[in-house]
Structure 1
């Protein structure tokens, strides 16, 4: 395993206004019909401005990250922390064998260069957990030397049991394919599947070489802020046929959170409506999941954010 990377955690902040903005005529948060009409007007502009080049329909444009879980891993707090941080340790040799592969889209196939399992593991492994004195490296094991003691307000006292600091243990690796949300719909993408002792499902690392990945095009949003009472979508939590679960970025004191969707033949635009607080409120961004149901399955249509005009990606688990 490599040396641990420095993790910098910053709070997500957003300016939450409590009065109409300068984005044109104010849309009263208490007037849902006006708010919905303002959303529809902007969504139509966003859809009209969406003009990706030919690679959107002919290349490989992934709309989710390169590390994929297929099925329920049955996370514990420790294993989820290790997964999100990229803490792994291998207990088996990781072969450098190269294989060929192709991506299977709903509308065709694309042959692509792949990375070998050893390279995929190097991309997956982000280092070791921080040292945890007095705590076991594996879950379920007692701390060495008996209970951990810590100074408290009245001197030394026995602490409550703690969970383990651990890295995820790789016990096997196989080559396969996993479903990935792309610009051409859900595709079966070559991947290296790492069997993890502590998880109920393998961790898949997509095997497509970076030279074969087309980046997501830059959005072309209307050059003005959102009307008051409308909020942006941050990402997609789930796509299930015609049902979309979207995470909206809302203020800490916003109420009346309502999903809004505009559906066209070539794109879907999503956002939300809220009622703003009139009092003092912390400037904190909250991610609020909401579900919308389309009139037809999403298919290969992009889901665009009403604020930025860009396509939304599947959020990391």
Structure 2
């Protein structure tokens, strides 16, 4: 299978993000000018060679077949009402998960539902119940004491029913079963995907040994035409930022994150900074596996939750 040479991608100017409190665990992993070392010893992997090995291991493998046959969301599992939330108070309530229920949730619903793709392909997957879905939205807002505290911004759910939504997946856009939450003051519902994702396949290659840089932290967006992807890459506070190389084959897209040169003299604090990087592709992603060269695994979708804009 022929390979295209890696092409350089750079981050959008000014698009920087920093670790929030929820992501502080990453800080201990990094230092200025340092490289991520994977346990296990052995010689260091060169980035270009490693990307080719990852692609060769995945293309035509059982893991690749499982990836193409499964249901793996690569977009937000929650879709806000049409037009978004109406003001700062409602946005804060959603962010803080202060969501309260007026009425009752549906009883026992169907255990399974069908995920459907274009061309007639479909997959039956277990469904989460309405109660479990509501709790994931509500958090502490589900508690009665919060419902009585009018000083906190709240979103009020007035009705819940099973419906459908469109969601980006590893196999392209899919129509998936979803719980539709009617919100007080909104004409269209908030939707949350109900289908349980497939178990991720075991990667056919081990993590890299001594490869410089860090794994790609997360996927945050696939462009509408699928010809570019936005990811979060890590770098130290004293280097010159992150960059991501891409190697495309017929069956996979391998991303290799690295840090730009460290021009800092003297001591530097051990902190990780996160940078949003847009990677352009030579052709649409399609059902090709989006892989991280460091780990040899698919890049996980996490969106931007837990990430806040940096002032630097």
TM-score between both structures, scaled by the size of structure 1: 0.69
Larger RCO: Structure 1 or Structure 2 (Cα < 8 Å, ≥ 6 residues apart)?
A: 2
* Alignment match, 2:113: 101
* Alignment match, 1:214: 198
RMSD of Structure 2 on Structure 1 (CA): 3.6
Deviation per residue, 1:65-123 (Å, 9 max, x gap): 64444765247665445434433101243222625631112450123343443443244
| Structure 1: segments with no counterpart, 5+ residues | 1-7, 27-37, 139-163
The 1:218–1:17 alpha-carbon spacing in structure 2 relative to 1, beyond 3 Å, is farther
SS state at 2:84 partner: coil
Aligned partners of 1:249 and 1:286 also within 8 Å: yes
Aligned partners of 2:75 and 2:221 also within 8 Å: no
SS state at 2:141 partner: coil
Counterpart mapping for 1:1-317 below 5 A: 9=22, 11=24, 12-13=26-27, 14-18=29-33, 38-50=46-58, 51=61, 52=63, 54-63=65-74, 66-69=77-80, 73-74=84-85, 79-96=90-107, 98-99=109-110, 101-106=113-118, 108-128=121-141, 137=149, 165-197=152-184, 202-208=189-195, 210=196, 213-219=197-203, 220-227=205-212, 230-240=213-223, 241-273=226-258, 274-279=260-265, 280-317=267-304
Matched length: 267
TM-score between both structures, scaled by the size of structure 2: 0.70
Q: Greater CA radius of gyration, 1 or 2?
A: 1
The 1:68–1:40 alpha-carbon spacing in structure 2 relative to 1, beyond 3 Å, is farther
The 1:272–1:60 alpha-carbon spacing in structure 2 relative to 1, beyond 3 Å, is closer
Aligned partners of 1:270 and 1:305 also within 8 Å: yes
| Structure 2: segments with no counterpart, 5+ residues | 1-20, 305-312
